[in-house]
Amino acid sequence: MRVFVVNSGSSSVKYAVVDPESGQTLADGIVERIGEPGSAVPDHTTAFRIALESLADDHDFVAVGHRVVQGGDRFREAVLVTPEVEKAIEELIPLAPLHNPPNLEGIRAARAALPDVPQVAVFDTAFHATLPPVAYTYAVPAEWGIRRYGFHGTSYSYVSREAGRLLGDPDARMVILHLGNGASACAVAGGKSVETSMGMTPLEGLVMGTRSGDVDPGAILGLGLGAGELDEALNRRSGMVALAGRGDIRESEQAASAGDERAALALEVYAHRIRHYVGAYAAQLGGLDALVFTAGVGENNARMRARVLRGLEFLGLRLDPELNAANAVTVSAEDSTAAILVVPTNEELEIARQSAALVHRG
């Protein structure tokens, strides 16, 4: 069984061939510089053809699984792509203007190249469709029509299930930290999302590589900047780039070790914001069975995990320094009453599994 998993961006198409039963990635690759000056890849249709050519003639797929960023409140799970679904994704473009258009381009290119293979849309927002109204409602005029959607849902779906398996309790109360260039937190109870830090867009919440995370909207109002300037500043010139002059956590750690006080403060701000959310979400969950780290920083940076955990001992979280340094799966000490786990995410496998399950049900 093979699923062709596609993550179509504005200037690149990442792809993988995944066996959802064994969990193996059989092939993967990326086609870049789509539509850029001087590029040999003028559009997504060409990119998809190049991707398929890299796989020789072995195109026997049970489904093509597409990552789609924004499903709004219309899509609570993966769906087969129909003309109606395609139209709905297009109508949701105002909620994700940078992501849904290239996601659609990928769907159309795949359908043209593989017309007899079912196309499946797997939404980043779907895992958070279980958020209760108290968690997704903003205290703003109702006519604005805005609410929290949350993102990184495919990652959380995979990691929460894997963490539940490791704990022997699929209903465990856990806070999952997806820490990468984009970063977010999610509170999970009974295998469902009940709180998450990203909002209507991926800008809210934790400090990220280039995104601000939480910021006082009143402070922004007084700057006199236009919408385009604000978008550029908050999404591309904020976060660790603004605090430390560099978006990469490892580079900031190196600078801090060399005496850069600005980088040292940036790392503490980054960890402080995470602790804020862990504590808040533990309160919402009524206790904590596990804290789970995932994604690039979460999986690989032992120093940041230790920094985040300082001061969280009151939640029963106690780190084993040796296990943490070894990037073990369980990094909690024997006397820790809540587990601390490092669970590598696998969004491609999650998309493949959801796609294959949907096709088989249908």
The answer to whether domain 3-123 and domain 168-342 are alike in fold is: yes
- Locate all alpha helices (DSSP H) within the chain, ordered by sequence: 44-53, 83-91, 100-113, 133-136, 153-167, 217-221, 227-236, 239-244, 249-257, 261-285, 295-300, 302-309, 321-325, 347-361
Which CATH number among 3.30.420.40, 1.10.274.50, 3.30.365.10, 3.40.50.11890 corresponds to the domain 168-342?
3.30.420.40
Close Cβ partners of 230 (under 8 Å, ≥ 6 residues apart): 220, 223
Structure tokens at 87: 């139209």
The domain locations on the chain are 3-123, 168-342
Strand order in the sheet with 63-68: 25-31, 13-18, 3-8, 63-68, 119-123, 79-80
pLDDT band per the 50, 70, 90 thresholds, residue 92: very high
The tens digit of pLDDT for each residue in 219-257 reads 999 899 999 999 999 999 999 999 999 999 999 999 999
Close Cβ partners of 168 (under 8 Å, ≥ 6 residues apart): none
According to DSSP, the residues that pair with 30 across neighbouring strands are 14
The residues that are catalytic are 124
The tens digit of pLDDT for each residue in 44-62 reads 999 999 999 898 767 789 9
- Of 323, 357, 359, give the one whose Cα is nearest residue 340: 323
- Locate all alpha helices (DSSP H) within 127-210, ordered by sequence: 133-136, 153-167
pLDDT band per the 50, 70, 90 thresholds, residue 10: confident
Close Cβ partners of 304 (under 8 Å, ≥ 6 residues apart): 179, 249, 253, 267, 270, 271, 297, 298
Which CATH number among 3.40.50.11540, 3.40.50.620, 1.10.10.10, 3.30.420.40 corresponds to the domain 3-123?
3.30.420.40
- Stretch 304-327: mean pLDDT: 97
Reading phi first (left if > 0) and then psi (alpha if -120 to 50, else beta), residue 327 is in: left
- Of 117, 105, 9, 11, give the one whose Cα is nearest residue 62: 117
Least confident of 99-103, 257-261, 358-362: 358-362
β-pairing verdict for 63-68 and 119-123: parallel
- Of 348, 293, 343, 349, give the one whose Cα is nearest residue 163: 343
Per-residue pLDDT, 56: 72
